[in-house]
Amino acid sequence: MSTHVPSQSALKPYRGHAIAAGVLLIACTVISILSAAPLGSTLDNGNYLAQLPSRQSGVLLTALLEFLWAATGAGIAVALYPVLRSHNRGLALGAVAGRLVEGVFVMVASLGLLAALTLSQDAQTARALAPAAQAAADSMLAMRHWALGFLGLLAFLTGALLYYLVLFRARLLPRWLSGWGIAAVALSYIATIYAGYTQAFGFSTVNTLLNIPILVQEMVMAVWLIAKGFTPPRALEPELLEAVATGPADGRSPVTIAAAGTTSTPVAVASGQPPIPHH
Q: How far is CA 183 from the centre of its chain?
A: 15
Higher pLDDT: 226 or 262? It is 226
For residue 261, pLDDT over 50 is answered with: no
Distances (CA, A) of 9 to 177, 234, 238: 21, 12, 18
Mean pLDDT (whole number) for 182-210:
92
Please tell me the pTM assigned to this model: 0.77
Mean pLDDT (whole number) for 135-158:
93
Residues 6+ apart with CB under 8 A from 125: none
The b/e string for 130-162 (b: 16+ C-beta within 10 A; e otherwise) is eeebbebbeebbebbbbbbbbbbbbbbbbbbbb
Which tens digit of pLDDT belongs to each residue from 38-72?
998 888 887 888 888 899 999 999 999 999 999 99
pLDDT value, residue 231: 85
For residue 1, pLDDT over 80 is answered with: no
Which tens digit of pLDDT belongs to each residue from 202-218?
778 888 999 999 999 99
3-state secondary structure of 186: helix
Nearest to 168 by CA among 230, 223, 248: 230
pLDDT value, residue 155: 97
Higher pLDDT: 17 or 231? It is 17
Distances (CA, A) of 259 to 166, 234, 251, 262: 21, 14, 15, 8
CA distance 170 to 155: 23
In the chain, what percentage of residues exceed pLDDT 90? Answer: 60
Which tens digit of pLDDT belongs to each residue from 68-106?
999 999 999 999 999 999 999 999 999 999 999 999 999
CA distance 249 to 246: 9
Mean pLDDT (whole number) for 233-243:
47
Angle at alpha carbon of residue 251, lines to 248 and 252, rounded to 5°: 75
For residue 158, pLDDT over 60 is answered with: yes
CA distance 21 to 43: 33
Per-residue pLDDT band at 234 (split at 50, 70, 90): low
CB 255 within 8 A of CB 267: no
pLDDT value, residue 125: 74
